[in-house]
Amino acid sequence: MVCLVGWSASAQAQVVRCTDPRTGQVTYTDGTCAGGASVREVEPRKTPQELQQERELAAEALERRQQRLQAEAAAADATAQRNAERARARAAQTAAAAPQPHDYARSPECARSRRSLDIVASGVARSAHEQELRLDAAQRQVDLDCLGPQGYAEVEKARANQPRVVVVPPVQPRAVFPEPFPPIVRPQPAPYLTQCGDFRCTDNLGNTYPRAGPGRFPGQGGVCRSNGGQAPC
């Protein structure tokens, strides 16, 4: 209680400036000046009502400052969010304006070439050589339409680097026996694959086989099995 009274009394005290007429020294006090010193009031004594009003004004000023800082922070956040949204919109517009790669595998030309290849593979030619040429031409058209110019060039380059070996089966002479002995039929060599495309394989006798799917396919050393659904070539 004594502390509160002392604080209240000091808060209401008057500030007085004292000037010594002999030395000119200036002092400040909340009481009275020494004898002979000139007295000038610096801050008049305030009433409790004035002190309360000052405290309320200071609190209002502090609250206004805090509100201003919060408003500035909110405005800065809103500006940053708008800038980020504009950046995302510009990035989306740039991505939309960029040219999209052409999907050759889903093009109508690719579908038409695949159908043509199936027709050629299921057809019958006059000779194995003619059938092989037709299949090769149809396969190259599929590669061009489904892979595009760049992919077709890579396939052609790889195809050119692969050795092409075609073994012509030897003609077996038939033995002539006098009657009544029947002719001896010698066994023909087993067929083997000479060329494979993406969908079909062709053997040396002109027969065609599907490239994918389970089964057995003729190979170099006799008959080979499909490996993982693909016929080895």
The answer to whether residues 25 and 111 belong to one domain is no
Cβ–Cβ under 8 Å, residues 41 and 48: no
Question: 195 is written with which tokens?
Answer: 């060329």
Counted domains in the chain = 2
Report the C-alpha gap between 175 and 185 in whole angstroms: 8
pLDDT in tens, 62-112: 999 999 999 999 999 999 999 999 999 988 888 877 777 788 888 899 999
Confidence (pTM): 0.33
Cβ–Cβ under 8 Å, residues 211 and 219: no
pLDDT in tens, 193-220: 777 776 677 777 777 766 655 555 555 5
Range 49-87 burial, b when 16+ CB lie within 10 A, else e = eeeeeeeeeeeeeeeeeeeeeeeeeeeeeeeeeeeeeee
Question: 79 is written with which tokens?
Answer: 């500006």
SS3 222: strand
Report the C-alpha gap between 232 and 185 in whole angstroms: 31
Let me know if residue 203 belongs to a domain. Answer: yes
Let me know if residue 32 belongs to a domain. Answer: yes
Of 21-30, 32-41, 118-127, 141-150, the range with the highest mean pLDDT is 141-150
Checking if the pLDDT of 56 tops 50, the result is yes
The answer to whether residues 37 and 109 belong to one domain is no
The answer to whether residues 108 and 206 belong to one domain is yes
Report the C-alpha gap between 144 and 114 in whole angstroms: 11
Domain that holds residue 156: 103-165+191-210
The answer to whether residues 203 and 127 belong to one domain is yes
pLDDT of amino acid 226: 47
pLDDT in tens, 7-17: 343 445 577 88
DSSP state string for 85-106: HHHHHHHHHHHHHSPPPP-GGG
Report the C-alpha gap between 4 and 103 in whole angstroms: 87
Range 113-135 burial, b when 16+ CB lie within 10 A, else e = bbebbeebbeeeeeebeebbebb
Report the C-alpha gap between 47 and 33 in whole angstroms: 22
Let me know if residue 86 belongs to a domain. Answer: no
